[in-house]
A and B are shown apart, each in its own frame.
Chain A
Amino acid sequence: MDFSLIPQGIVSGLLLGCIYALVATGLTMIFGVMRVLNLAHGEFVMLGMYLAYGIVVATGMDPYLSWVVTIPALGLLGAAVYAGLVGPVLRRGDENSPIVLTVGLLLVLQNLVVFFLTGNVRGLSSAYQFMSIKLAPIVIVSVPLLIGAIGSVVATVLLFLFLRRTEMGLALRAVAARPGSAPLVGINVQHVFIVAFSISSGCAGLAATLLVPAYPFSPITGGQYTLTALLVVILGGLGNYAGALVGALILGVTQSVAVLYLSDGVASSVVLCMVIAVLLLRPQGLFSTGAVRA
């Protein structure tokens, strides 16, 4: 076994993990705040990639600047989805139906793209896609991956600051921690929910901008990100943001290193067993300090 490959695997895995964290943060926020598992989350990323691609091809702008469009556009879409679909269902006290709603949304979004834009795979040609930096003789870092990781970390830090330092952030955490009591202290829960959904889909939009310069996409790209985000969220704890970051890093590194030596099937099985073990032994996630909530 050639151990010299491990540093490369770890570095790539960490960087990839950062991007996974950004996607997972959106998922864990919606779950933490309103107990809804948004299975259409990956579809927002996919839509963001199509949007970013379209804008870059039309205007020739630097792909990494497309966040100016993708974040607000996806944020608005998220707000609309909440206002029109998820909100009405939650307001009548229905906790189980929203997930069915998100499956319906998944079908609609994915197949609208197939219908209008075909199922063909697209990839952007950008100045960044071939760039790399040599950190060490045996560690080469892909620049798009590095930029993606940095962008994700910056966004995550901003999000943490938002949650800790702003009034709305506090309201979000309050609703997540004590959904019953939050209205009693004057928090408008509906506003909080809309904000949470918008931030979540905004994160998806940013992730799309960070991915599009070097990663190809098609209508089905969303599904794999939803699955990865779910695994991360389980590792980190549902609703736990720091946990999502660390869980994503663990997932990224485990995947990257496992693929170096094991077949894909075994590597995936290892990752999945790890996640199942966490679910059974520490259902609140590896990093939660709080108690499990049903």
Chain B
Amino acid sequence: MPSNNHRRALGWRMFGSVAAALLLSAATAVAQGAPEPVLVGVNIPRTGPLALMGALLEPSVRLAVDQINTAGGIKSLGGAPLELRWADNQASPSLSGSEEQRLIQQEHVVTVIGGGVSGAELTATQMAERLKVPHLISIATADELSERGFRYTFILSARAVDYARGYVNLLNYLKANRNIAVKRVVVLNENSALGSSVAKDLLPMAKDAGYEIAEQVEYPASTSDVSSLLTRIRSAKPDVVLHIGYIGDSILIWNTRRQLGMEDVPFIGITSGIGSPAFMKAVGAAANGALTLSQTNADLTADAVQNFVRSYQAKYNVPPENNGFFSYQSAYVVKAALEKAGSRDPEAIRQAFSTLQMRDNVVLPQETIRFNEAGVNVDTPVLLLQVRNGQLVTVWPDNVATTAPDFSQFDKLRSR
């Protein structure tokens, strides 16, 4: 006959089992309710010779994804959060291709965000094309990237040809609107894919527009000294120097310009880190008046821009730079494409990219982000920025400028 103890034990056991069953089904229900994350790959140079590019791309992507997930993730996928999978291509084309493959075939990402180095992007996009997964290039210059008839490559930033056109447009504007007649131009470019691809487009374009290319001087970005370079440039007596480089060499050039007393020759940089926090820190007051072409700036008044700048500054204690804008934007473009596709199928996402008309969360100075048949973000503009009293302000084109430009460094070219 079962004792009282035994009955009590049985009772507890029954209670335990029922409770467990209830808990289990509740947990399963909850687990099924929480949607699977959407995996997005990021393929950038995190180490190696162009780690400085990756270092500026990485933080913004993380920030954007955090914001997207906090705001509820991808609504059309049941609130699925984005989850990033990282790859370091070390600026090496062969590694980039295989890392792209790893992201797609091992990590099962549905889209890849790339950017930073053209050579690495060439092979990464090739792999993405082979494997039929969309690859969004945040920032890279090689014209070739959009000229191969690929369907899965989308590029947000301007390409070399756009930068070159930007320079020529600026010079034309100076002549037509500001009575500043530039005649002799020196092109100073670092000799990797960035500098050489822009120079290759710029030289014929400038010549066709009537400017005289006094000299084209190439140099390695890793150079330890630029005094000979600047001496050579000075002897060519240019009206302006168009400089395509990276931040390290820009700092060196700015230091040496003042040492050699060459500040009377205006330099206009592009992608060269002029006005960036590290540049300002290193060059200080001598940076005042420095001009650089760029595509974005923290002083643009659009709400989305200011929100981005504020949140970036709050998290990282420095304002974002051009690269950061593009990688931040890339994350939001991916979000928009996913929302539009309502699916994790790369083919549907690709379709969404190609028909995208994105107006929300745009931190680039354009109203709508859309890609043409070549995958190019056609409306992406080129801006002129200037360092004024420690701030980097937007001075051209006139319709986007937040501050009137100070072209006093061109005074001796006026009304010839």
Touching chains A and B, CB distance < 8 Å: yes
Chain B residue at smallest Cβ distance from A114: B47
**Interface digits, A258-284 against B, CB 8 Å rule (1 contact, 0 not)?**
011101110010000000000000000
B281 in the interface, Cβ–Cβ < 8 Å?
A: yes
Does chain A have a CB within 8 A of B78? Answer: no
Contacts A9-B228, A132-B260 given; does A119 touch B46 at CB 8 Å: yes
From A158-166, A213-221, A235-243, the one touching the partner chain is A213-221
A111, A125, A221, A257: the one contacting B228 at CB < 8 Å is A257
In the complex, the answer to whether B46 meets A120 with C-beta atoms within 8 Å is no
Contacting pair A259 B232 (CB below 8 A): yes
Interface segment, one of B118-126, B162-170, B218-226, B362-370: B218-226
Alpha-carbon separation in the docked complex, A268 to B222 (Å): 13
A259 to B217, CA, bound (A): 9
Q: Which residues of A contact B281 (CB under 8 A)?
A: 122-123, 125
Q: Which residues of B contact A2 (CB under 8 A)?
A: 235
How many angstroms from the CA of A43 to the CA of B125 in the assembled complex? 34
Task: Give every chain B residue within 8 A of A216 (Cβ-Cβ).
Answer: 247-248, 251-252, 278, 282
**CA of A124 to CA of B46, assembled, Å:** 23
Beta-carbon contact of B286 and A130 below 8 Å: yes
Residues in B whose Cβ lies below 8 Å from that of A111: 47
**Does any Cβ of A come within 8 Å of B204's Cβ?**
no
Bound together, the chains give a CA A110 to CA B90 distance in angstroms of 13
Q: Which residue of A lies closest to B273 (CB)?
A: A121
Bound complex: CA of A145 vs CA of B228, how far in Å? 13
Which of A8, A9, A114, A143 lies in contact with B51, CB distance below 8 A? A114
Which residues on A sit within 8 Å (CB–CB) of B278? 120-123, 216
CA of A2 to CA of B46 in the docked complex: distance in angstroms?
A: 43
Stretch at the interface among B27-35, B52-60, B97-105, B134-142: B52-60
Measured between C-beta atoms, what is the minimum distance from B52 to chain A in Å?
5
Q: Which B residues are in CB contact (< 8 Å) with A114?
A: 46-47, 51
Q: A140-B261, A215-B252, A264-B220 are in contact. Are A121 and B232 (CB under 8 A)?
A: no
Q: Beta-carbon contacts of B198-239 to A below 8 Å, as 1s and 0s?
A: 000000000000000000011110101101110110010000
Given A121-B273, A224-B222, the answer on whether A214 and B255 have CB atoms closer than 8 Å is yes
Bound-state Cα–Cα, A12 to B284, Å: 24
Does A201 lie at the interface of the complex (its beta carbon under 8 Å from any beta carbon of B)? no
Instruction: Give bound CA distance, A261 to B231, whole Å.
Output: 10
Whether A8 pairs with B251 at a CB distance below 8 angstroms is no
Determine the distance from Cα of A220 to Cα of B94 in the docked complex, in whole angstroms.
20
Tell whether A8 pairs with B55 under 8 Å between CB atoms, given A121-B246, A125-B284, A215-B252.
Answer: no
Given A16-B225, A123-B283, A140-B259, A218-B46 contact (CB < 8 Å): no
Across the interface, B248 reaches (CB within 8 A) one of A12, A121, A143, A264, namely A121
Report which residue of B228, B256, B283, B286 has the largest number of chain A beta carbons within 10 angstroms of its beta carbon. Answer: B228
Write out the residue numbers on chain A whose beta carbons fall within 8 Å of the beta carbon of B55: 118-120
Given A129-B255, A260-B231, A121 and B218 contact (CB-CB distance below 8 Å): no
Known: A114-B46, A119-B46. A264 touches B191 (CB 8 A): yes
In the assembly, what is the distance between CA of A215 and CA of B220, in Å?
15
The CA of A260 and the CA of B191, in the complex, are separated in Å by 16
Residues of chain A within 8 A (CB-CB) of B16 are: none
Contacts of B191 in A (CB 8 A): 264-265
B47 touches A264 (CB 8 A): no
B149 within 8 A of A: no
Within 250-270 of B, Cβ neighbours of A (below 8 Å) are at 251-252, 255-256, 258-261
Q: Which residues of B contact A255 (CB under 8 A)?
A: 228
Which B residues are CB-close (under 8 A) to A224? 222, 224
CB–CB A264/B219 < 8 A:
yes
Max chain A C-beta neighbours (<10 A), residue from B231, B273, B284: B231
Q: When the two chains form their complex, are residues A143 and B54 in contact, meaning their CB atoms are under 8 A apart?
A: no
In the assembled complex, which residues on chain B have CB atoms less than 8 Å from the CB atom of A9?
228, 231
* B191 vs chain A, min Cβ distance (A): 6
Q: Give the 4 A-B residue pairs with the shortest CB-CB distance, closest first.
A: A119-B51, A123-B282, A132-B259, A119-B55
Given contacts A16-B224, A224-B224, 17 further A-B contacts (CB under 8 A): A114-B51, A119-B54, A119-B55, A120-B56, A125-B282, A129-B255, A129-B282, A130-B255, A140-B259, A216-B251, A217-B248, A220-B48, A220-B51, A255-B228, A260-B232, A263-B217, A268-B220
A-B contact pairs, 27 of them (CB 8 A): A2-B235, A8-B228, A9-B231, A111-B47, A119-B46, A119-B55, A121-B247, A121-B273, A121-B278, A123-B251, A123-B279, A124-B282, A129-B282, A130-B286, A143-B259, A145-B225, A214-B255, A220-B49, A225-B224, A255-B228, A259-B229, A260-B232, A263-B217, A264-B191, A264-B220, A265-B191, A265-B218
Instruction: Give chain B's interface residues, CB within 8 Å of chain A.
Output: 46-49, 51-52, 54-56, 191, 217-220, 222, 224-225, 227-229, 231-232, 235, 246-248, 251-252, 255-256, 258-261, 273, 278-279, 281-284, 286
